[in-house]
Amino acid sequence: MDHIEQAYSISDKHKLLAKELYKQSVAELVSKNYQCDLNPFTELSVIFGVKWVDANDPNSQFWNNATLYAEANTAFNYAHLNLGISNRFIKLAEQLVCDELRVSEKVLKKMNKEMNCVLTRTTVDSFSLI
């Protein structure tokens, strides 16, 4: 199964949660007060991953749970394919965060250029957690 097929195979419950957490993650990333240290796509997936783990298993040690990590990446791909890829990222950011609180249009366009991809570590065997 490829990454896109896998993303669309998650449960309806997880699809709804993924979209909600993705929106929260985008809003956080594009906030003027957020310090983005990685490339925007990677940073967005990290924000989402933390939210996913907290929502699904708040007592889990995320960095020691390859199954939860892979699940988070698959859910991220689903939400990203539906809400962020193909220039939808800018529109979503503009809907979620008002101009005064959002990064500049120039920064938003630069971020958008990094968004046309998916995560590839979506299976447990793709992780080696030490």
- pLDDT of residue 48 exceeding 70, the answer is yes
pLDDT recorded at residue 57: 79
Q: What is the mean pLDDT of residues 1-20?
A: 89
Whether 129 maps to a domain, the answer reads no
* Domain limits for position 115: 3-121
Whether 97 maps to a domain, the answer reads yes
DSSP run (H or E) holding 25? helix 12-29
pLDDT recorded at residue 18: 97
Whether 128 maps to a domain, the answer reads no
Identify which has the larger pLDDT, 58 or 104: 104
Whether 127 maps to a domain, the answer reads no
Rounded distance between C-alpha atoms, residue 5 and residue 14, angstroms: 15
Q: Which of 1, 9, 126 is nearest to 78 (CA)?
A: 9
Whether 109 maps to a domain, the answer reads yes
Whether 110 maps to a domain, the answer reads yes
Number of structural domains in the chain: 1
